[in-house]
Structure 1
Amino acid sequence: MVRKAFKMKVYPDQHGEYYQRHQKLWPEMEHLLREHGVLKYGIFLDEQSSELFAYLEVEDQSKWDQVASTEMNQKWWDYMAPIMETNPDNSPITQELSEMFYIEK
């Protein structure tokens, strides 16, 4: 199992829309994530900075790496691009975070 964390940024006037889109996550998108080994995935918002903190646990890094190239994922990126900072291909601009501490019971 692999733990991953990264930051993204939503536009300040789009917090509500970002939340709503994730509450109505397409079933096909959820299936894609689970199919590619996602065990846990959470996204948190710092309302002051509009930064999003994402944490996920995946079964296998190589399976996770395949998600980005799928048609469904690229469709999701296109859907989300108007409300967040993105790269030219509409993928979210992300900053990977290094794990500094972890404890589990």
Structure 2
Amino acid sequence: MQLKPGAMDEYKARHDAIWPELAELLHHSGIRDYSIFLDEETLSLFAVLKLTDDNSHETLSKHPVMQKWWNYMAPLMHVEPGNKPKEWALEPVFYLA
């Protein structure tokens, strides 16, 4: 994901005050150990999360709370139509278990 210039402090503040209904929705969708990292130089965001075996995370985009959050965050980030944050896959280059 990608922040817009000057949005770093507000992005962090909004996540520090995450809505309880959003946290509950993510948890009930099977998302655990969710972290977002920021490269301050490029303003790139990298999210890492674990999913339970019975997760339903692919349905989150249809949920009104998720859509409300995306609308709330859209001024701070590069987004797709519908205000979903732009995301792109990264190629794994190393893994050690």
TM over 0.5: yes
User: Which of 25, 29, 43 lines up with 1:32 in the alignment?
Assistant: 25
CA apart distance, 1:69: 1.0
Aligned to 1:78: 71
**1:1-35: CA deviation from partner (whole Å, max 9, x where unpaired):** xxxxxxx0011200000000000000000000000
CA apart distance, 1:72: 0.5
User: Which of 77, 89, 93 lines up with 1:96 in the alignment?
Assistant: 89
Distance change in 2, residues 1:86/1:61 (3 Å): farther
Looking at structure 2, the residues matched to 45 and 59 of structure 1 have their Cα atoms a distance apart, in angstroms, of 25
CA apart distance, 1:103: 3.1
Aligned to 1:58: 51
Distance change in 2, residues 1:62/1:37 (3 Å): closer
CA apart distance, 1:54: 0.7
- Highest RCO, 1 vs 2 (Cα 8 Å, sep ≥ 6): 1
Looking at structure 1, the residues matched to 65 and 94 of structure 2 have their Cα atoms a distance apart, in angstroms, of 34
TM-score, normalised relative to structure 2: 0.92
TM-score, normalised relative to structure 1: 0.85
Percent identity, aligned pairs only, is 39
Runs (4 or more) in structure 1 with deviation over 4 Å come to none
Secondary structure at 1:13's aligned position in 2?
Answer: coil
Aligned pair count reads 97
Looking at structure 2, the residues matched to 41 and 55 of structure 1 have their Cα atoms a distance apart, in angstroms, of 6
